[in-house]
């Protein structure tokens, strides 16, 4: 079987969309599964449907990566997007042809810097993981390359400035995809810090400020990556070998905080893509964290104690699915500020995403670090609901009882805190101080245990026992779990 490239597709009589030649208008730091299933997919659709006519030149972010494979396949790979959409099961495949090449800057740093001389280059995107946008004071302009991503980007921007000076329109629209708060602003902060550290011209710093848009973004798509167990069968069906096969869910949404002038350069409406350019991305981040992530954290611990193991099976359980949906529609959505129609539509997509037959999302994997997750994802809805209605949201309150019951461990091991549910033992994984706290207090009577946990301001940033009725209701729910099981409390909540 021949390797995927343009010639192989021609020999196979491929009739799908391909863009073999176009100017490199996008520089991408990162060649991993997420960017190839998200940003590169959107660029490919923009090329096909909106005459974006742009190639993506990729920079390998670490010394070991995919540059050789990408270049051997001439930037081509096959993307499968699968799941439920509008009530129907979807399995779409597309050959992505927007990537021109991949540069390994650790072998040829000048090849990366040379991209700055290209007058048509306009966009920079990246996903260097949450740990990528950090400040490394050891980075120097003379490094080949800098160790950190902000350092490399500063080096690249300085070469651009050296080539074009203050010429208008030669800066960049920078679209980071890292999952950190205000990713664009955070990246800009460290770029400016490096420019100051390196004593670069004030005219360069002015150019960074005036000619470059560091856009905060929100990205949303589950990408499941290389389908190891299905790859051989997929390649047989495709009639070519593809070492860059990629898979993800059909749902995707990209929010970009940028001025109106950026809209003119990204023809997203013409391509009918789920990309939103707005002056404030934060309400959409809040929507995702509170509805999608909050739903996860609210039901998975109780569902696991009730005997479930993966998200999809929970959605096929009438009681658990109703518990989740009632939590979303009756207790979370009323606390959010976006139009209700938008919130309801997003909530409906969440249920479809959780039913995805192609993703076995384990409840135990979601349970990792549930203490910080409950604080970030669920607590704001609890407080917002109480402030609005002066009463407690019963399902969110129950989710806190499920959290305490799930953390009912007996001993610490190298795998986490050992705990037991009917049928098997499991391991709770969280910060060591959290696990030690539960080991120390888990033998307390229910009321004392709940109050002690609620009063731990290190966990919650405040004393939750001050919320009227919260300790009493959580205690009542925890006692039901302890005496009759999690499924009994779930049944009572619906």
Looking at residue 67, which CATH number applies to its domain? 3.40.50.720
Same domain for 32 and 98: yes
Predicted pLDDT of residue 87: 87
> How far apart are the C-alpha atoms of 421 and 257, rounded to whole Å?
45
**Can you tell me whether residue 151 is helix, strand or coil?**
helix
What's the pLDDT score for residue 349? 95
End of a domain among 235, 251, 267? 251
Domains of the chain: total: 2
Residues 200, 300, single domain; the answer is no
Predicted confidence band of residue 304 (pLDDT cuts 50, 70, 90): very high
| Confidence at residue 154, expressed as pLDDT on a 0 to 100 scale | 98
The neighbouring-strand residues paired with 241 are 3
- The answer, yes or no, to whether residue 95 has pLDDT greater than 90, is yes
Residue 425: inside a domain, yes or no? yes
Q: What is the DSSP letter of 10?
A: H
Contact (Cβ atoms closer than 8 angstroms) between residue 105 and residue 145: yes
Q: How far is CA 181 from CA 32, 187, 376, 413, 440, in A?
A: 21, 11, 12, 33, 34
Same domain assignment for residues 230 and 324:
no
Residue 282 CA to residue 467 CA, distance in Å, equals 27
125 within a domain of the structure (yes/no): yes
- Domain boundary residue among 233, 251, 269? 251
Domain boundary among 202, 232, 251: 251
Residue 100 φ/ψ, nearest 5 degrees: -90, -45
d(CA 320, CA 314): 6
Give the strands of the sheet with 411-413, arranged side by side: 411-413, 416-421, 424-428
As a whole number, mean pLDDT of residues 309-324 equals 97
Same domain as 340, residue 246: no
Are both 447 and 383 inside the same structural domain? yes
* Antiparallel, parallel or unpaired: β 99-103 and 88-96: unpaired
Asked if 218 and 345 sit in the same domain, the reply is no
For the cut 90, the answer to whether the pLDDT of residue 290 exceeds it is yes
Based on the domain organization, do 245 and 287 belong to the same domain?
no
What is the rounded distance in angstroms from the CA atom of residue 253 to the CA atom of residue 287?
12
Q: What is the mean pLDDT of the chain?
A: 97
CATH of the domain at 477: 1.10.1040.10
Looking at the domain assignment, is residue 476 inside a domain?
yes
Residue 359 belongs to a domain: yes
Would you say residue 444 lies in a domain?
yes
The mean pLDDT value for 21-49 works out to: 98
270 domain residue, yes or no: no
According to the model, what pLDDT value does residue 78 have?
98
pLDDT tens digit sequence for 191-228: 999 999 999 999 999 999 999 999 999 999 999 999 99
Q: Which domain holds residue 39?
A: 6-251
The answer to whether position 271 is within a domain reads: no
Are 333 and 470 contained in the same domain? yes
- In this structure, are 354 and 211 located in the same domain? no
**Would you state the pLDDT for residue 314?**
98
- Helix (H) or strand (E) holding 325, with range, is helix 318-326
Percent of the chain with pLDDT over 90: 97
| 235 and 298 fall within a common domain | no
Average pLDDT of the segment spanning 262-268: 95
Tens of pLDDT along 402-426? 999 999 999 999 999 999 999 899 9
pLDDT at 166: 87
Q: Is residue 110 part of a domain?
A: yes
In this predicted structure, the answer to whether residue 129 has a pLDDT above a threshold of 90 is: no
How do residues 345-369 score in pLDDT, each as one tens digit?
Answer: 999 999 999 999 999 999 999 999 9
Say if residue 130's pLDDT is above 80: no
Residue 30: left (phi > 0), alpha (psi -120 to 50), or beta? left
Residues 240 and 289 both lie in one domain: no
Cα–Cα distance between 99 and 106 in angstroms, integer?
A: 20
DSSP letter assigned to residue 160: H
pTM of the model: 0.92
413/325 same-domain check: yes
- Say if CB 40 and CB 56 are below 8 A apart: yes
Q: Considering only 10-14, 56-60, 85-89, which range has the smallest mean pLDDT?
A: 85-89
Report pLDDT for 131: 80
Distance CA 230, CA 417 (A): 34
């Amino acid at each position: 079987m021949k390797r995927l490239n343009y010639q192989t597709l021609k020999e196979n009589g491929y009739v799908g969309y391909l863009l073999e030649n176009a100017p490199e208008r996008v520089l991408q730091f990162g060649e991993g599964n997420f960017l190839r299933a998200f940003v590169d997919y959107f660029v490919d659709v923009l090329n096909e449907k909106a005459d974006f006519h742009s190639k993506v030149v990729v920079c390998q972010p670490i010394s070991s990566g995919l540059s050789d494979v990408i270049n051997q396949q001439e930037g081509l790979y096959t993307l499968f997007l699968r799941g439920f959409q509008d009530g129907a099961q979807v399995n779409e495949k597309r050959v992505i042809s927007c990537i021109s090449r991949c540069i390994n800057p650790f072998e040829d740093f000048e090849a990366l810097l040379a991209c700055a001389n290209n007058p048509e280059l306009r966009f920079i995107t990246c996903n260097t993981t949450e740990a990528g946008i950090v400040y490394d004071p050891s980075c120097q302009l003379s490094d080949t390359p800098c160790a950190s991503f902000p350092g490399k980007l500063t080096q690249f921007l300085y070469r651009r400035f050296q080539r074009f000076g203050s010429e208008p329109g030669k800066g960049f629209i920078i679209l980071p995809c890292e999952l950190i708060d205000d990713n664009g602003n955070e990246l800009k902060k460290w770029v400016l810090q490096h420019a100051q550290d390196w004593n670069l011209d004030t005219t360069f710093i002015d150019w960074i400020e005036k000619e470059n848009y560091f856009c905060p973004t929100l990205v949303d798509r589950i990408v499941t990556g290389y389908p190891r167990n299905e790859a051989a069968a997929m390649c047989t069906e495709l009639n070519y070998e593809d070492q860059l096969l990629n898979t993800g869910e059909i749902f995707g949404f990209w929010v970009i905080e940028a001025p109106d002038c950026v809209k003119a350069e990204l023809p997203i409406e013409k391509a009918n893509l789920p990309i939103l350019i707005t002056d404030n991305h934060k309400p959409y981040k809040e929507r995702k964290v509170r509805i999608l992530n909050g739903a996860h954290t609210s039901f998975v611990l109780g569902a696991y104690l009730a005997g479930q193991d993966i998200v999809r099976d929970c959605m096929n359980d009438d009681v658990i699915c109703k518990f989740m949906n009632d939590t979303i529609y009756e207790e979370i959505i009323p606390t959010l500020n976006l139009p209700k129609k938008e919130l309801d539509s997003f909530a409906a997509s969440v249920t479809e995403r959780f039913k995805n037959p192609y993703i076995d999302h384990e409840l135990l994997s979601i349970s990792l670090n549930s203490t910080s997750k409950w604080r970030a994802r669920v607590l704001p809805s609890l407080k917002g609901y109480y402030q609005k209605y002066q009463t407690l949201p019963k399902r969110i309150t129950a989710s806190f009882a499920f959290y305490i019951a799930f953390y009912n461990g007996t001993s610490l091991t190298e795998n986490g805190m050992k705990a037991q549910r009917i049928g098997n033992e499991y391991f709770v994984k969280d910060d060591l101080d959290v696990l030690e706290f539960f080991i120390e207090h888990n033998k307390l009577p229910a009321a004392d245990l709940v109050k002690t946990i609620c009063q731990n301001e290190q966990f919650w940033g405040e004393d939750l026992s001050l919320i009227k009725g919260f300790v009493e209701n959580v205690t009542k729910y925890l006692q039901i779990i302890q005496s009759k099981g999690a499924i009994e409390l779930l049944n009572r909540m619906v």
